[in-house]
Structure 1
Amino acid sequence: MTSARSAARWHWKNPSVIPGFGLTLGFTLAYLTLIILIPLAALAWRSASLGWSDFLRLVLDPRTLAALRISFSTALIAAVVNVVFGVVAAWVLVRYNFPGRRIVDAVVDLPFAIPTAVAGIALTAIYAPNGMIGSLLAPLGIKVAYSPLGIVVALIAIGLPFVVRTVQPVMQEISQEVEEAAASLGASRFQTIFRVILPGLTPAILTGFSLALARGIGEYGSVIFIAGNIPFVSEIAPLLIVIRLEEFDYGAATVIATVMLIISFLMLFLINFIQAWSRRRFGYEQ
């Protein structure tokens, strides 16, 4: 009896004026199955057909492990940096009115619009040892282009909009009266930021972080130009997949792709778990 009541309550919890739940749900599931689930399942099936011995041999290949380490470590570092500067950029765009604000707001979206290859060529031209910025850093012993640092720079450039555009709408909903009330109660600026503002932004920040991380892990076009693509030094996993395909080593390519898929899924699952916890913790669960 209780289960029947709870099922009925769940079904009519949020009734919609527009009918068609069954049709839209069926279309959504069919779309996800055809576009995402079936290709990923085919990838996993192709890797499983190699057998455990060959699978482990290809996974534990030193070049494969180095490429995976470089891809995930640089993507993680870039995502953390983007969280810091993305939140600051969103704060400036939301809280302050200044000349050229609309231009700055539009520039944030440039990585969405320009091809990744163009971004990679531009960054390489600037940070190369003979480039405008690279020539200034070279005497200091700082090498950006053709090194893992160059990969991080490229991933920061293409991942920043994900954090800004995720945090910005949520920040716009936080009234300045909340900050004024905290100040009137004796809170310092740091207390207002870390105890009043950031808790409300935590779910949005985690979402932006996960999007920037996912984009960085799979990024290819903007990285291969500035990375130098040196095995065991600056070779990323997506490039190694392409190299294996060009060598007609389809087994190795699918194994690397499967490992990237598994690690990415586990990382995103952990981030989503933390995000759900933060929503419950700070009272934002709907």
Structure 2
Amino acid sequence: MAKVTRVIPGFRFTMGFTLFYLTLIVLIPLASLILKGGGIGFGKFLQTVLDPRVLHSYLVSFGCAFFAAIINSIFGIILAWVLVRYEFSCKKIIDGLIDLPFALPTAVAGIALTSLYSENGWIGRFFYAIGIESSFSLVGITIALIFIGIPFVTRNIQPILKDLDTQYEEASMMLGANRWTTFRRVIFPEILPSLLTGFGLAFARGVGEYGSVVFIAGNTPMKTEIAPLMIMSKLEQYDYYGATAIALVLLILSFLILFSINLIQWRMSRLKGI
């Protein structure tokens, strides 16, 4: 029997390194967060996380992140479709601009968005003219989260569309299906797992986003305060236990949502394999 030559070392070494890396980078920080949050005492913990101002900040963060992820899912499909299926001038430049939110410092993004969408901004003046407050409001927060989340959806869908054989679409059209039916029955089921992944990543990034949101949010108590801002406020007051408690709830809720999305993907893959 011929010996199999592998490029990288064997399973034991790579698995050991993987566990060491995950423990050092992920598990130990999360464990310290849990231990720090538990050290506050159960009564004080509940008093901190159930404070009306904190609860409202969770609602703002999760609500705006959810709506931004929904919008990104729709426009992410459109952007990926255009970049994969059409040839046009400056295509590579536009493709590169998709990743700009990854490279741009969040504070710079926040300042730029605030300038654009303020009442006297280039874009904001049109929103205010029709009665929509595009800055220092929930709309402004959602706009910022759309900006930082769109690459997650687009980049997850692009490879699937590239690998999807156009013959399936042609066969569907030849059998009498219209364009909408072809997309709904042929294309969408193929990109749905990647779409859910992009949605989950955009949603998780939006929940924890601080730098690009804090400038455009206005930070009005019980209106536009986000959960990360409440954590920073606790830290500025040297209330480390309070900040850890809020962060712990944020972590648990985000984990449950991402776990639910992964569970849906797993069940979809099983149904698809049947």
TM bin (shorter chain): over 0.9
Which of 64, 70, 80 is residue 60 of structure 2 equivalent to?
70
Could you tell me how far apart the structure 1 residues matched to 2:90 and 2:24 are? 44
Which of 6, 14, 19 is residue 17 of structure 1 equivalent to?
6
Aligned residues: 270
| CA contact 1:74–1:152 (8 Å) conserved in 2 | yes
What is the SS of the residue equivalent to 1:282? helix
Which of 107, 120, 131 is residue 121 of structure 2 equivalent to?
131
- Once the two structures are TM-superposed, the CA of residue 74 in structure 1 deviates from its matched residue by 0.5
Could you tell me how far apart the structure 2 residues matched to 1:137 and 1:192 are? 36
| Partner AA of 2:13 in structure 1 | L
Which stretch shows the higher mean deviation, 16-25 or 140-149?
16-25
Are 2:231 and 1:267 equivalent residues in the alignment? no
Give the structure-2-normalised TM-score.
0.96
Are 2:84 and 1:115 equivalent residues in the alignment? no
Aligned to 1:92: 82
| CA contact 1:121–1:222 (8 Å) conserved in 2 | yes
What is the SS of the residue equivalent to 2:122? coil
Are 2:194 and 1:204 equivalent residues in the alignment? yes
| Partner AA of 2:15 in structure 1 | L
What is the SS of the residue equivalent to 1:170? helix
Which of 235, 248, 259 is residue 258 of structure 1 equivalent to?
248
- Once the two structures are TM-superposed, the CA of residue 145 in structure 1 deviates from its matched residue by 0.5
- Give the CA RMSD over aligned residues: 1.3
| CA contact 2:39–2:241 (8 Å) conserved in 1 | no
The Cα offsets for residues 26-51 of structure 1, whole Å up to 9 and x where unpaired, read as 11111111111111111111111222
- Once the two structures are TM-superposed, the CA of residue 281 in structure 1 deviates from its matched residue by 2.2
Q: Which consecutive residues of structure 2, in runs of 5 or more, have no partner in the other structure? A: none
Are 2:47 and 1:57 equivalent residues in the alignment? yes
Which of 123, 138, 142 is residue 148 of structure 1 equivalent to?
138
- Once the two structures are TM-superposed, the CA of residue 184 in structure 1 deviates from its matched residue by 1.0
| CA contact 1:200–1:282 (8 Å) conserved in 2 | no
- Once the two structures are TM-superposed, the CA of residue 153 in structure 1 deviates from its matched residue by 0.1
What is the SS of the residue equivalent to 1:230? coil
Are 2:148 and 1:158 equivalent residues in the alignment? yes
Tell me: CA distance 1:173–1:16, structure 2 relative to 1, closer, same or farther (3 Å): farther
Q: Which consecutive residues of structure 1, in runs of 5 or more, have no partner in the other structure? A: 1-14
Could you tell me how far apart the structure 1 residues matched to 2:208 and 2:23 are? 21
| Partner AA of 2:105 in structure 1 | P
Which of 21, 29, 32 is residue 31 of structure 1 equivalent to?
21
- Once the two structures are TM-superposed, the CA of residue 267 in structure 1 deviates from its matched residue by 0.2
Could you tell me how far apart the structure 1 residues matched to 2:6 and 2:128 are? 63
Which stretch shows the higher mean deviation, 16-25 or 185-194?
16-25
| CA contact 1:202–1:278 (8 Å) conserved in 2 | no
Could you tell me how far apart the structure 1 residues matched to 2:161 and 2:271 are? 19
Could you tell me how far apart the structure 1 residues matched to 2:142 and 2:96 are? 23
Could you tell me how far apart the structure 2 residues matched to 1:237 and 1:138 are? 27
Give the structure-1-normalised TM-score.
0.92
- Once the two structures are TM-superposed, the CA of residue 211 in structure 1 deviates from its matched residue by 0.7
Could you tell me how far apart the structure 1 residues matched to 2:33 and 2:253 are? 15
Could you tell me how far apart the structure 2 residues matched to 1:238 and 1:106 are? 29
Could you tell me how far apart the structure 2 residues matched to 1:206 and 1:137 are? 31
Could you tell me how far apart the structure 2 residues matched to 1:282 and 1:184 are? 24
| Partner AA of 1:251 in structure 2 | Y
Aligned to 2:232: 242
- Once the two structures are TM-superposed, the CA of residue 16 in structure 1 deviates from its matched residue by 7.5
